[in-house]
């Protein structure tokens, strides 16, 4: 039963309950340890028995299982599961360009951040929220546990989009401040004049699992413009004078596809998950289906 | 501005072209584009660059709508200036096409006749009819015919036009004037129905009648066909009887030369199909030469005169003449040799050269049936002979005719002046010593009567003409009065002369008069081209046979008897084919229009249509760009 503190305008309570059954899937954590699920940390417990292996010279003798040696007269090393402190980084592009579309991309991004963040909190992961672009304030200190859900929601509620896109700077700044290993989810439209590659490289350098969620508004995916227009860039105030024509629209669609493809290629080539979603897609659909199939949650 | 006036009816309106800069201005103002804020112009910029790179005429395409708008405005300004071109055809909404089909229209110029040229021009007029226009087609030769009343049915008009055929007659435009005048707008009955009637008269302008009917309030265009004057033709062909002298009959031939130089030709005279005589003839330019042939002793038959050589109008190179025996009225007087009446009659009858008089006494009388007129004086046969009969002081044995006692000094009462016998007579002062009292049969007509008895009566029975005088001429003072020889002349005129009264030559288009035939029946008329017509004859009055539009010999067969008639043009007006420069129509003198009929066709409807079309194209381009 969610408390009143967890109520938010971003997500409805029924959906929150569904989210509680999900968990963030962190492949990296499992790589260095045993196969099987990632354990939650309990208070006072730092390690847990995992397996045995043959002793080789140089191993720490403190980890030799002497009871086994007593019975079998051979040296076995006792292996313990080291419980990593998994951090879920949710990075929001809060530039002015996100405040666009119906529904707005930024609302969609905050809802998605709230949902993913709530999954992390419910799974007792460390959740670090942050904005990587725009004039919005930097994120709160990382938080853990459902008890912090209300704090997370209120911070997300209070966010305002504004300012230009500078993904690379935002990503580097976040990586410096939050060293925790884990999963990084970057929610942006990737409409960065300076390019998205630098930003993604910054995130890769953290050795976290990175997922890029590209949000585009329906108006961007399939614009319904007509006549002689002066298109003004919401961030740079640069403008393009166009006379809408069939040829122009065709060319726009080609360029749009090429742009998305470019981001996807860059991501996939570096083992980064990439998802393109329209801001009109229901959040439930994104979390319960798209991210689940993409291996972000399970 | 004067130069522009040659192309525009209202060149001042070209000033509207000055609005074009305003359109450009409006276009520039309009191009303050609607601002649309979008998240990023990144993709649009790239698309624009791509497009510009791919389309060198992008700039032009951007301004296409402006060009179209300027074009529309220019077209509308031009339309307001009302440009026109000179086109063939007419502007009239109600046309009356009058086609001359008289003899001169058969002139062949180039490959076709003037009539064909006129019909071709009329066909072009039909083709130029626009929707709502109507036309009527009238042709005229010696009379006018309406071939098609006002209609907009071009098919019917063409059919009517095709049905017009040439006639060999003179042209008589009076009927046409009557038709046109009846359609004039000052005719209150017509004005509402046929406003703006315009007449197109297609003719070479050779008219035989200059009759003026006064003002005709309809615009008439005289569209002249024909160029040449290279024609000669027979304009006179007549028989000359010797007058008072013995000698042969003569044929007189007049040849008219319309050319600008003298004509040397031969004139051949045929009897039936045998050449009788050939004579060289020189006719000076634009003049007439005459030729006289002495005829051998010919009684009846058909004479034909031909001039040599073909020219542009062939039909006037031949003429015909029907030869008839000299006219005779065979008259028989049956009387006692010492009868005074017979004496007076003989003297009066001798005045007329036609009378072939013979006399006989009643004792010697026998019905020979050879006399046109038989006069019985104081005696009557038991059986009446054929022919016209005059009974003087004798009452013939006829049913209903009863003779009574003689009456002394009967006073003369008013005559019946309507009867041909009584024409010009004033017999009021005749003194009659004695007359027979007569009771007339039913149907008889008393022409001069006394109180008790008719004095002169027409007692014709059915088909035989019989006249009765109930007194003896010798017993009156009538023979010394002027009215007596007049009476005799009337009597001769009243006597029908079967077969001999026909004219030697009839003008084409005029009727052939078929004399009354007592037994009635039908006459078969054989036309020059061999076709025949059947005419029903009237027993009591002549019948007019009017289908004589073509020249040549006509043969009328009544029973066994055949009579030939010659139908000729013989009209100098038609033979002188030089086209007229002007034509008098009513009081107007119309100048000939020789070229194509031209009028100023206004172009503004086309310009407005083009403007509308471009407007639609502009709209389509706009919507294609906006929603495509």
End-to-end CA distance of chain A: 21
Question: Chains A, B: CB contacts under 8 A, how many?
Answer: 102
pLDDT at A83 over 60: no
Beta carbons of A173 and A105 less than 8 angstroms apart: no
Distance CA B426, CA B414 (A): 9
Grouping H, G, I as helix, E, B as strand and the rest as coil, residue B136 is: strand
Q: Calculate the average pLDDT of chain A.
A: 81
> Which residue of B28, B32, B41 to mutate against A (max A Cβ within 10 Å)?
B41
Percentage with pLDDT > 70 across chain A? 88
* Torsion angle of the four alpha carbons B500, B505, B508, B510, in this order, in degrees rounded to the nearest 10: -40
Distance CA A193, CA A186 (A): 17
Q: Which residue of B has its CA nearest to A257?
A: B43
pLDDT at residue A278 in the model = 92
Region B65-88 average pLDDT: 84
pLDDT at B598 over 70: no
From chain A, pick out residues whose CB is under 8 angstroms from the CB of B46.
Answer: 255
Confidence band for A82, pLDDT divided at 50, 70 and 90: low
- Tell me which residues of chain A have a C-beta less than 8 Å from any C-beta of chain B: 96-98, 100-101, 105, 189, 191, 193, 217, 219-220, 225-236, 238-249, 251-252, 254-256, 259
pLDDT at residue B193 in the model = 64
Name the more confident of B86 and B562. B562
CB–CB contact A245 B38 (8 Å): no
pLDDT tens-digit series, residues A253-271: 999 999 999 999 999 998 8
pLDDT at residue B501 in the model = 47
Tokens of B275: 């050449």
pLDDT at residue B90 in the model = 63
Distance CA B48, CA A255 (A): 10
Of B196, B146, B221, B206, residue with least CA distance to B176: B146
Region B147-160 average pLDDT: 90
pLDDT at B274 over 50: yes
Of A28, A181, A200, A24, residue with least CA distance to A115: A24
Maximal C-alpha separation, chain B: 151
Q: Catalogue the E-assigned strands of chain A.
A: 47-54, 76-82, 87-92, 126-131, 143-144, 182-188, 209-216, 228-233, 239-243, 273-278
pLDDT at A30 over 50: no
Global confidence as pTM: 0.50
pLDDT at residue A7 in the model = 56
Confidence band for B541, pLDDT divided at 50, 70 and 90: confident
Q: Which residue of A has its CA nearest to B51?
A: A248
> Which residue of B42, B49, B59 to mutate against A (max A Cβ within 10 Å)?
B42
Q: Calculate the average pLDDT of chain B.
A: 83
Distance CA B437, CA B442 (A): 16
pLDDT tens-digit series, residues A87-105: 888 999 888 888 888 888 9
CA distances from B87 to B11, B82, B128, B377, B602 (A): 20, 15, 10, 84, 9
Which residue is listed with tokens 């004033």? Answer: B426
Q: For A88, which DSSP code?
A: E
Measured between CA atoms, how close is B18 to chain A, in angstroms? 26
CB-CB neighbours of B386 under 10 Å: 15
Region B293-310 average pLDDT: 85
Element (H, E) at B139: strand B134-140
pLDDT at residue A34 in the model = 32
CB–CB contact A248 B627 (8 Å): no
Tokens of A131: 């904005």
Of B198, B194, B208, B103, residue with least CA distance to B150: B194
Among left, alpha and beta (phi > 0; psi -120 to 50; other), residue A26 is beta
A144-148 LR contacts (CB < 8 Å, sep 24+): A145/A121, A146/A6, A146/A118, A146/A121, A146/A122, A147/A5, A148/A121
From chain A, pick out residues whose CB is under 8 angstroms from the CB of B31.
Answer: 228
CB-CB neighbours of B541 under 10 Å: 9
Confidence band for A232, pLDDT divided at 50, 70 and 90: confident
Confidence band for B234, pLDDT divided at 50, 70 and 90: very high
Tokens of B112: 């076709």
Helices A105-122 and A149-158, interaxial angle, to 10°? 170
From chain A, pick out residues whose CB is under 8 angstroms from the CB of B30.
Answer: 228
Tokens of A100: 């666009």
Name the more confident of B178 and B57. B178
Helices A13-20 and A105-122, interaxial angle, to 10°? 50
> B606 φ, ψ to 5°?
-70, -40
pLDDT at A290 over 60: yes
Q: How many CA within 13 A on the CB side of residue B357?
A: 17
pLDDT at A22 over 50: yes
Element (H, E) at B508: none
DSSP string, B259-275: SSS-EEEEEEEEETTEE
From chain A, pick out residues whose CB is under 8 angstroms from the CB of B43.
Answer: 220, 252, 255-256, 259
pLDDT tens-digit series, residues A142-159: 888 888 888 999 899 888
Among the partner residues B30, B31, B51, nearest to A251 by beta-carbon distance: B51
pLDDT at residue A258 in the model = 92
pLDDT at residue B99 in the model = 93
> B512 φ, ψ to 5°?
-90, 130
Name the more confident of B183 and B322. B322
The interface residues of chain B toward chain A in range 218-257, judged by CB-CB distance below 8 A, are: none
CB–CB contact B42 A193 (8 Å): yes
* Torsion angle of the four alpha carbons B549, B554, B560, B561, in this order, in degrees rounded to the nearest 10: 100
Residue B25 class from Cβ within 10 Å (0-12 exposed, 13-18 middle, 19+ buried)? exposed
For residue A78, the cross-strand partners are: A52
Helices (H), B418-507: 483-494
CB–CB contact B33 A251 (8 Å): no
Distance CA B375, CA B359 (A): 9
Of B503, B57, B421, residue with least CA distance to B238: B503
The interface residues of chain B toward chain A in range 1-30, judged by CB-CB distance below 8 A, are: 30
> B239 φ, ψ to 5°?
-105, 135
Distance CA B334, CA B180 (A): 62
pLDDT at residue B242 in the model = 67
CB–CB contact A232 B35 (8 Å): yes
Looking only at the bridges linking them, the beta strands covering A182-188 and A209-216 are: parallel
For residue A119, the cross-strand partners are: none
pLDDT at A4 over 60: no
Among left, alpha and beta (phi > 0; psi -120 to 50; other), residue B89 is left
pLDDT tens-digit series, residues A199-213: 888 888 888 888 999
CB–CB contact B33 A241 (8 Å): yes
From chain A, pick out residues whose CB is under 8 angstroms from the CB of B51.
Answer: 247-248, 251
Q: Which residue of B has its CA nearest to A219?
A: B38
pLDDT at residue A43 in the model = 32
DSSP string, A89-142: EEEE--SGGGS-TTTTHHHHHHHHHHHHHHHHHHTT-EEEEEE-SSSSPPPPPP
What does R_g of chain A's alpha carbons equal in angstroms? 23
Reported residue count of chain A is 298
Among the partner residues B30, B40, B48, nearest to A242 by beta-carbon distance: B48
Confidence band for B457, pLDDT divided at 50, 70 and 90: very high
B205-229 burial by CB neighbour count: b if 16+ within 10 A, else e?
A: bbbbeeeeeeebebebbbbbbbbbb
Region B285-308 average pLDDT: 86
Distance CA A262, CA A196 (A): 10
CB-CB neighbours of B167 under 10 Å: 26
Name the more confident of B51 and A283. A283
Among the partner residues B47, B50, B626, nearest to A227 by beta-carbon distance: B626
pLDDT at residue B58 in the model = 53
> Which residue of A102, A221, A230, A262 to mutate against B (max B Cβ within 10 Å)?
A230
pLDDT at residue B164 in the model = 93
Of A113, A147, A130, residue with least CA distance to A3: A147
CB–CB contact B46 A193 (8 Å): no
The interface residues of chain B toward chain A in range 596-625, judged by CB-CB distance below 8 A, are: 624-625
> B231 φ, ψ to 5°?
-145, 150
Region A214-229 average pLDDT: 85
Q: Which residue of B has its CA nearest to A99?
A: B39
Confidence band for A167, pLDDT divided at 50, 70 and 90: confident
Percentage with pLDDT > 90 across chain B? 17
Confidence band for A38, pLDDT divided at 50, 70 and 90: very low
Name the more confident of A193 and B139. B139
pLDDT at A1 over 50: no
Residue B405 class from Cβ within 10 Å (0-12 exposed, 13-18 middle, 19+ buried)? exposed
For residue B293, the cross-strand partners are: B251
Distance CA B110, CA B112 (A): 6
Confidence band for A47, pLDDT divided at 50, 70 and 90: low
pLDDT tens-digit series, residues B372-428: 899 999 889 988 888 899 999 988 988 888 888 888 888 888 788 888 888 888 777
């Amino acid at each position: 039963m969610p408390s009143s503190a967890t109520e938010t305008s971003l997500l409805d309570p029924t959906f929150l309950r569904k989210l509680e059954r999900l968990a963030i899937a962190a492949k990296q954590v499992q790589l260095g340890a045993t196969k099987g699920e990632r354990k939650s940390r309990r208070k006072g417990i730092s390690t847990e028995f995992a397996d045995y292996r043959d002793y080789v010279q140089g191993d720490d003798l403190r980890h030799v299982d002497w009871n086994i040696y007593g019975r079998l007269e051979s040296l076995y090393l006792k292996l313990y599961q080291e419980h990593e402190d998994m951090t879920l980084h949710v990075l929001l592009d809060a530039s002015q360009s996100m405040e666009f579309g119906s529904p707005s991309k930024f609302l969609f991004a905050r809802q998605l951040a709230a949902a993913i963040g709530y999954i992390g909190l419910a799974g007792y992961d460390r959740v670090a929220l942050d904005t990587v672009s725009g004039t919005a304030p930097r994120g709160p200190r990382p938080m853990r546990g459902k008890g912090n859900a209300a704090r997370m929601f209120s911070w997300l509620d209070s966010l305002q989009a504004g300012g230009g896109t500078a993904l690379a700077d935002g990503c580097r700044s976040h990586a410096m401040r939050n060293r925790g290993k884990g999963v990084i989810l970057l929610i942006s439209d990737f409409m960065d004049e300076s390019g998205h590659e630098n930003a993604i490289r910054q995130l890769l350098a953290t050795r976290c699992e990175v997922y890029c969620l590209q949000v585009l508004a329906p108006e961007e995916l399939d614009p319904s413009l007509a006549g002689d227009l002066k298109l003004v860039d919401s961030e740079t105030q640069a403008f393009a004078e166009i006379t809408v024509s069939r040829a122009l629209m065709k060319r726009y669609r080609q360029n749009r596809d090429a742009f998305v493809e470019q981001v996807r290629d860059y991501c996939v080539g570096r083992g980064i998950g990439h998802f393109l979603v329209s801001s009109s897609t229901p959040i439930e659909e994104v979390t319960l289906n798209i991210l689940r199939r993409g291996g972000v949650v399970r | 501005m004067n130069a522009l006036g040659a192309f525009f009816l209202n060149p001042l309106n070209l000033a509207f072209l000055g609005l074009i800069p305003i359109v450009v201005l409006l276009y520039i103002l309009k191009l303050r584009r609607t601002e649309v804020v979008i998240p990023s112009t990144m993709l649009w910029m790239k698309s624009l660059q791509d497009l510009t790179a791919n389309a060198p005429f992008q700039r032009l395409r951007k301004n296409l709508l402006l060009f179209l708008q300027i074009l529309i405005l220019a077209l509308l300004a031009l339309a307001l200036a009302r440009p026109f071109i000179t086109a063939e055809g007419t502007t009239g909404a109600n046309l009356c096409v009058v086609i001359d089909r008289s003899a001169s229209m058969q002139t062949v110029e180039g490959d076709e006749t003037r009539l064909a040229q006129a019909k071709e021009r009329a066909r072009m007029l039909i083709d130029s009819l626009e929707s709502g226009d109507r036309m009527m087609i009238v042709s005229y030769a010696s009379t006018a015919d309406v071939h098609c009343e006002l209609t907009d049915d071009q098919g019917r008009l063409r059919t009517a036009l095709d049905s017009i055929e040439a006639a060999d007659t003179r042209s008589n435009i009076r009927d046409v004037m009557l038709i046109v005048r009846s359609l004039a707008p000052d005719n209150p009955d017509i004005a509402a129905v046929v406003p703006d009637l315009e007449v197109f008269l297609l003719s070479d302008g050779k008219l035989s009648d200059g009759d003026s009917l006064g003002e005709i309030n309809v615009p008439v265009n005289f569209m002249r066909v024909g160029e040449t004057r290279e024609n000669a033709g027979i304009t006179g062909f007549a028989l000359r009887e010797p007058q008072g002298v013995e000698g042969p009959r003569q044929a007189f031939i007049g040849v008219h030369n319309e050319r600008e130089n003298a004509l040397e030709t031969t004139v051949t005279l045929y009897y039936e199909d045998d050449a009788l005589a050939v004579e060289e003839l020189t006719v000076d330019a634009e003049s007439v030469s005459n030729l006289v042939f002495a005829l051998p002793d010919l009684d009846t038959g058909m004479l034909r005169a031909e001039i040599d050589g073909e020219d542009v109008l062939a039909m006037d190179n031949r003429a015909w003449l029907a030869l008839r025996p000299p006219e005779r009225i065979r008259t028989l007087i049956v009387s006692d040799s010492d009868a005074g009446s017979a004496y007076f009659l003989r003297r009066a009858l001798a005045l007329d050269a036609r009378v072939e008089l013979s006399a006989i006494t009643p004792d010697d009388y026998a019905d020979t049936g050879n006399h046109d007129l038989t006069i019985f004086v104081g005696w009557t046969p038991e059986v009446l002979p054929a022919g016209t009969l005059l009974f003087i002081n004798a009452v013939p044995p006829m049913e209903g005719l009863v003779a009574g006692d003689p009456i002394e000094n009967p006073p003369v009462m008013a005559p019946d002046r309507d009867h041909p016998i009584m024409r010009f007579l004033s017999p009021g002062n005749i003194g009659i010593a004695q007359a027979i009292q007569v009771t007339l049969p039913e149907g008889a007509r008393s022409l001069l009567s006394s109180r008790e008895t008719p004095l002169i009566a027409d007692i014709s029975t059915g088909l035989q003409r019989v006249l009765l005088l109930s007194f003896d001429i010798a017993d009156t003072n009538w023979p010394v009065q002027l009215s007596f020889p007049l009476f005799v002349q009337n009597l001769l005129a009243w006597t029908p002369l079967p077969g001999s009264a026909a004219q030697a030559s009839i003008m084409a288009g005029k009727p052939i008069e078929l004399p009354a035939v007592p037994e009635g029946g039908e006459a078969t008329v054989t036309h020059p081209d061999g076709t025949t017509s059947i005419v029903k004859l009237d027993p009591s009055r002549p019948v007019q046979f009017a289908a004589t539009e073509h020249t040549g010999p006509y043969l009328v067969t009544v029973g066994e008897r055949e009579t030939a008639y010659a139908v000729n043009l013989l009209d100098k007006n038609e033979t002188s084919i030089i086209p007229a420069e002007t034509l008098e129509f009513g009081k107007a003198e119309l100048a000939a229009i020789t070229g194509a009929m031209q009028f100023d066709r206004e172009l503004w409807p086309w310009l407005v249509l083009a403007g509308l079309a471009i407007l639609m194209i502009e709209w389509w381009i706009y919507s294609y760009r906006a929603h495509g």
